[in-house]
């Protein structure tokens, strides 16, 4: 396991990723190095196809890079087994997507609680505690009166708030957000930015990927990407 520095929350060291399609090699990332400290809100900004989502999936332990290392909270993600990586993801990483990706047959509260399925909650007290936290999040995100509703019965803004609540359930160290306001109007977008800033301020971190410079401007730090090279502010 490689540990670059204990003060860092997420470290990417010379990360490269290439996709092969129809015999062609398409570079998505080349020797990407970056570090995120606690309480940072970082935006990766770039046009479609520049490798933003690839970077996010690599940071989330979902996509193994060809070269380089990804260390999250002291764990070299890709030296771990897939099962252990899933455990790290469940405990330390929160995901928010543009399409929300809510489970269509679970109500709001259960969708938030879905994030706890990967945790090993052995006793009833732990299960009660996580349920309590889910209810608090639902309330905090203004969804208390919608707790029993299915995603199809919610507005887009409400769905994204459910996705945010789900991402925060396990108190992750880092939140990875892929165009989280891409489908939202200005008012709902502002609500999301507010929550993300609040989350980062709690000694955690947010890594946002977006093609929208206005959205990127909400972050403390912006990294511009142009496929396959990377340029930092």
Partner 1 sequence: MNLTHLIWREIAHRRLNFSLMLLSVVLAVACGVSAVTFLRAQALFNEQQVRGLDDEIRKITKDMGFNILILPKDENLSDFYADDFGARTMPETHVQSLAASRDVFTIRHLRPALIRKLDWPEQNRRVILMGVRGVVPFAHRNPKKPLADPVPAGKIDVGHLLAQEVDLQPGQPLTFLGETLEVNKIYPPQGNKDDITVWIDLDKAQQMLDLPGKINLIQALECNCNAIDRLAEIEAEVSGVLGDQVQVIELATKAIARAQARTRVSDEGAIRLKRGRRIAGTIIPLTIVAAGLMVGLLSLANVRQRRQEIGILRALGMRSGQVFRVLLAKPAVIGIVGSLIGYLVGFGAALAMESGWRLGEIHESAVRSLFLFPVLGVVFVLTPILTVMAGWLPALYAAGQDPADILHQE
% helix, strand, coil for the chain, step of 5: 35, 25, 35
For the CB of residue 101, give the shortest distance to partner 1 in the complex, in Å.
Answer: 4
For the CB of residue 170, give the shortest distance to partner 1 in the complex, in Å.
Answer: 8
CA distance 203 to 220: 14
39 binds partner 1 (CB under 8 A): no
Q: In terms of DSSP bridges, do strands 24-36 and 67-72 run parallel, antiparallel, or are they unpaired?
A: unpaired
For the CB of residue 190, give the shortest distance to partner 1 in the complex, in Å.
Answer: 25
Rg of the chain taking only CA atoms, in angstroms: 18
DSSP class of residue 140?
A: H
For the CB of residue 130, give the shortest distance to partner 1 in the complex, in Å.
Answer: 8
105 binds partner 1 (CB under 8 A): yes
CA distance 94 to 73: 14
Identify which of 202, 207, 201, 211 has the alpha carbon closest to the alpha carbon of residue 221.
207
DSSP class of residue 129?
A: H
Tokens of 43: 């935006």
The number of residues in the chain equals 233
87 binds partner 1 (CB under 8 A): yes
> Nearest 5°: CA angle at 157, between 37 and 183?
75
Q: Which helix (H) or strand (E) holds 221?
A: strand 221-226
- CB of 23 or CB of 104, closer to partner 1: 104
For the CB of residue 232, give the shortest distance to partner 1 in the complex, in Å.
Answer: 24
For the CB of residue 85, give the shortest distance to partner 1 in the complex, in Å.
Answer: 9
CA distance 75 to 79: 8
Among residues 29, 36, 57, 72, the one that binds partner 1 under rule CB under 8 A: 57
Contact segment (CB under 8 A) with partner 1 among 70-78, 104-112, 211-219, 224-232 equals 104-112
Residues 148-207 within binding reach of partner 1 (CB under 8 A): 166, 170
Among residues 26, 39, 80, 91, the one that binds partner 1 under rule CB under 8 A: 91
Contact segment (CB under 8 A) with partner 1 among 33-41, 116-124, 201-209, 212-220 equals 116-124
Residues that bind partner 1 (CB under 8 A): 53-54, 57, 60, 62-63, 82-83, 86-87, 89-91, 93, 95, 97, 99, 101, 103-106, 110, 113-119, 127, 131, 134, 166, 170
């Amino acid at each position: 396991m490689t540990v670059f520095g204990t003060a860092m929350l997420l470290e990417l060291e010379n990360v490269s990723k290439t996709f092969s399609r129809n015999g062609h090699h398409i570079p998505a990332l080349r020797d990407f190095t970056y570090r995120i400290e606690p309480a940072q809100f970082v935006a990766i900004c770039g046009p479609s196809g520049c490798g933003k989502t690839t970077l996010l999936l690599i940071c989330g332990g979902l996509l193994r890079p060809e070269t380089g290392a990804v260390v999250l909270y002291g764990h070299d993600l890709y030296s771990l087994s897939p099962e252990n990586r899933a455990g790290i993801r469940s405990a330390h990483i929160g995901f928010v997507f543009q399409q929300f990706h809510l489970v269509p047959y679970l109500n709001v509260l259960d969708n938030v609680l879905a994030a706890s399925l990967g945790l090993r909650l052995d006793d009833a007290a732990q299960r009660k505690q996580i349920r309590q936290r889910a209810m608090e999040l639902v309330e905090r995100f203004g969804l208390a009166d919608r707790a029993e509703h299915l995603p199809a019965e919610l507005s887009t803004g409400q769905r994204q708030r459910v996705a945010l609540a789900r991402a925060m359930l396990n108190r992750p160290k880092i939140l990875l957000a892929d165009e989280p306001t891409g489908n939202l109007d200005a008012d709902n977008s502002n609500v999301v930015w507010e929550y993300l800033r609040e989350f980062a301020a709690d000694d955690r971190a947010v890594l946002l990927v977006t093609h929208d410079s206005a959205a990127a401007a909400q972050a403390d730090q912006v990294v511009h990407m142009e496929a396959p090279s990377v340029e930092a502010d």
